[in-house]
Amino acid sequence: MWSLDDARHLDECYGHSTRPFSICDGPQNVVFTGSQDGSICMWLFGESFVSLLKLIHTGCGVIRSLLFVSQELFFGTDYGFFGSVTFPENIENMQTVNLIYPNLTVQSFVTVSQQCYYILDLQGTLYEANAVSLSKIMQCSSARSNSLKLSPCRKYVAFSEEKKMHVIRRPQILFFCAVDQILDLFWVDNRLFLALINFKNLLLHLSEDMSEWVNHTLQIDLQEIVSCVTIHAEDLFLGTNKGSIVVVRDLKMKQIVKRAHGKNGVTDVKFYRNKLLSIGRDGKLCIWKRDCENPLQLLSWSKPSTAIEMEWPCRFLEATNQLYVAGFHGGNFILVNYESGHCVCDVWCGGRRRSWCLSVLEENGNCEASKSLCFEFVIKKMISRITLYMSDLRVIKPNLHLSSITSIAVTKIDQKEFYVTGGIDAMLVLSRFTNSENGYDKLLGSVEVMQRLQAHSSSVYCVCAMSPYLISVGGKSEIFIWRLDAGNLQHLFNIRMKGDCRLLSVQFVSVSPYIRFLVSCSDGKLMIYELSSALDSKKQTVLFESFGGDGIMVKVSCASLNDIVVCGAVSSTGILHIWSLSELVDVKDHRRIEVEKCGLSALSMYSEDELLYVGVGSESGTVSVFQFEKNWKYVRSVNCWHSATCTDLHLHRTAQSFLVFSIALDCRLAVFLYSPGFETVSYYQFAGTEPFHP
């Protein structure tokens, strides 16, 4: 910060970890800056000082532009994202910190309301604290600090000691004696679930007036301790300390998903929009498909946050008609929006191992529309209260990836088209186009991101779809097979080949009765994989292995011709290879055609009327189309329109014409009309104007 009068240096403050690229004015005495790592800093300045008020992690790419208008900060990134973050009217006081009941040595607490607390001190004394008084309820020196729990209806408080559980609804206090030591307790609506030593579990029904107990023993043959519980349609769903999820119906175990979160504990489970969500100590958020008749089925998993790694996801929270995931990153508490992955809260508290509570503050007697949160936690034996504003992210125009998009595949399910893209950022993104409100102008529609997946540990180089399956390949020899179900990509199978090579191109050969696909590797091998429909057996065959000057297979493609599978590949040395295979994937014929004296870079195949058409693009920008007859005689048609490497092309047959779409490093999309009879590939003209290109 400098003075404009005499250029004197006044103050400095650090907030960004990388170079800032944009800056804009906010309300009075506030400035916003955006940086290369996708973060936005909000600064407060005076006559001689500058201080950091808030750091917002967007995870949307390099912030290139900022504009603050009417309590909303609009920003754009270099990967096409356009969105905004909202702020309160009193922006300078959007976060306050204070201590409550500093005279108590606090062990744990629960917040009934902003005026009423139940506090357990280090001596085992339980207090009821409100705005005007501090009342001692009972003394229990052996109380378990982690067992102090508030019921969902916020009417009851329960906690346990060695073999006794206490339930409080002032002025009533009841207790229940268990046969074994109580390890933990959980509220399930108006019921209590007790996890006992020796892996015993009880479900207690409590009448509303606390006059009657009914207890049941769950018949679960599992030597794991329950760590979280939820209920849906009278079925209990239990998470355990060893990563398993258990389904219980009529007090009996109906299903167990072992190692649903690896060997790490499940921290919370919740039903949301007819799907079961689970989070675990492994940092993953899993989405499960569940109905009354069928068992749990994993649809997908992801990391809760797009910008900050949530090392310890702890709890789901519904607020302002949104679902959030609460957890910790190092010593910071973070709250992440489930839909967008945007972090709306990031405050220091010292870490996970402490009693804490998160609640929504009422605004004009209403919690649903409130954006103010109250985060309370124990630090140095005192309760610290932080009130803050949730800066939700509004997506105006989404970005699919945070780096270059390498490939795209299209699949149709129930008459709906879905698009799957892979990128250098190792992400797979499932999206679809939504029409505009008038329903007939698709140009005014938008892209809706359905799902983001980061299953790959390195860049994704190619994706291929054959309904309802999809396959993705990339670096570190990784192959993933997916199934599109209920608007989600469901992980079915993954393979990691021996060695550490890049998988450059992949193509399905068939999906029934076997899943067969062709994949090219950077080490010069061309492989055919065969999986059973149950995915319990696999077979691999080396179709080709390059030696000497053969180069590597850059792109592969497949077609069906007279009940024979035809596989094609183009090499970095200018050779087009074509194999005809039997039903058992035995090679019947192999053709080798020299196309150019430079590398080939694109390939597409199409069969019709016992003829095979093969489109080839090269590093010189040349587009060639081959027409093969039964005896493998061919006619070649050529067009040299591109001025740089042709990176991909596609043969497309319409009712009236045969089109060739191509893209190249000259940043142009070309559309050609192929005429088999005239053996030509010519520009496709639009109303007599110039060739179509961006």
The vertex-160 CA angle with 154 and 164, nearest 5°, equals 125
Question: Which residue, chain included where needed, has tokens 């910008």?
Answer: 307
Tokens of 211: 């006059």
Predicted confidence (pLDDT) per residue in 91-144, tens digit = 877 888 999 999 999 999 999 988 899 999 999 999 999 878 899 999 988 888
List 288's β-bridge partners, or say none.
276, 298
Residue 16: predicted pLDDT: 87
Whether the bond into 468 is cis, omega within 30 of 0: yes
Determine the topology of domain 400-545 in CATH: Methylamine Dehydrogenase; Chain H (2.130.10)
Residue 364: predicted pLDDT: 59
Residue ranges of the chain with per-residue pLDDT less than 70: 363-369, 435-446, 683-694
The C-alpha atoms of residue 442 and residue 217 are separated, in whole angstroms, by 58
Of 206, 218, 225, 220, which is closest to residue 251 (Cα–Cα)?
218
The C-alpha atoms of residue 112 and residue 357 are separated, in whole angstroms, by 10
**Long-range contact pairs involving 255-260 (C-beta distance under 8 Å, separation at least 24):** 255/295, 255/296, 256/222, 257/296, 257/298, 260/286, 260/298
Share of the chain above pLDDT 70, in %: 95
Of 334, 321, 267, 283, which is closest to residue 57 (Cα–Cα)?
334
Residue 381: predicted pLDDT: 92
Residue 436: predicted pLDDT: 53
The C-alpha atoms of residue 492 and residue 483 are separated, in whole angstroms, by 7
Q: What is the dihedral of CA 664, 669, 671, 676, to 10 degrees?
A: 10
Q: What is the CATH number of domain 20-91?
A: 2.40.10
For the chain, the first-to-last Cα distance in angstroms comes to 44
Residue 445: predicted pLDDT: 58
At 122, the amino acid letter reads L
Predicted confidence (pLDDT) per residue in 528-585, tens digit = 998 887 777 788 888 888 877 778 999 999 998 877 889 999 999 999 999 988 877 7
